[in-house]
Structure 1
Amino acid sequence: MLGVAALGERATLVQFSSAFCQPCRATRRTLSDVSAMVEGVAHIEIDAEEHLSLVRELEITATPTVLVLDAAGRVVTRASGLPRRADVIAALGHAID
């Protein structure tokens, strides 16, 4: 799915966005803040319109959609819509365990 170099050492927050999606901007801020707080966590934003084959493969139906990957790149959690900071931190807890 993503290059190994792009993955975080402990976990990765993958955000699917689109250009005119207002909640995507707020999601970007939340995920950037959380990834900066937790060592070894990367935040990757993917433009859904530019990566349609990946969107179809992962069955992304709305933006923003966030996938939380563990250190091996496996999807641990996925959610659509604007995430709450506490929910992102909790999902990271499951990915890092």
Structure 2
Amino acid sequence: MDERADEGVLLELFSTSFCGACRQTRAMLDRAASLVPGAAVVEHDLALEPELGEAHGIVRSPTVVVRSSDGREVLRAAGVPTVPQVLVAAERALVR
């Protein structure tokens, strides 16, 4: 089960420990989360949980998935998205 804020936004990062772009993405998500009340960042290491990546159709790291509190996916970005891209997706996740 995913960790979710009850009324917030889930920012999921699918990463690997040996990925340089993943470090950039982690920092960007932390910044975005600090601007969105109720946002939670959850990171999944694909080297440790390959079955999770397969179950979610993740084919590249980093991949960011932004979800609403009910689990609806509003953004999937392979690579490093920008803070503005994540903020726009977070806003869509909050609109019901």
* Other-structure match for 1:75: 73
* Other-structure match for 1:7: 4
Q: Normalization by structure 1: what TM-score? A: 0.91
Which contiguous aligned blocks of 4+ residues in structure 1 show a shift greater than 6 angstroms?
none
Say which structure is richer in helix: 1
Q: Normalization by structure 2: what TM-score? A: 0.92
Q: How does 1:38-53 map to 2 (within 5 A)?
A: 38-53=36-51
Aligned residues between the structures: 94
Identity, % of aligned positions: 35
Q: RMSD across aligned C-alpha pairs, in angstroms?
A: 1.0
Q: Distance in 2 between matches of 1:22 and 1:76?
A: 25
Question: Residue 74 of structure 1: CA displacement?
Answer: 2.1
Alignment-mate amino acid for residue 62 of structure 1: R
The answer (yes or no) to whether the contact 2:12–2:42 under 8 Å persists in 1 is: yes
* Other-structure match for 1:35: 33
Structure 1, unmatched stretches of 5+, are none
Structure 2, unmatched stretches of 5+, are none
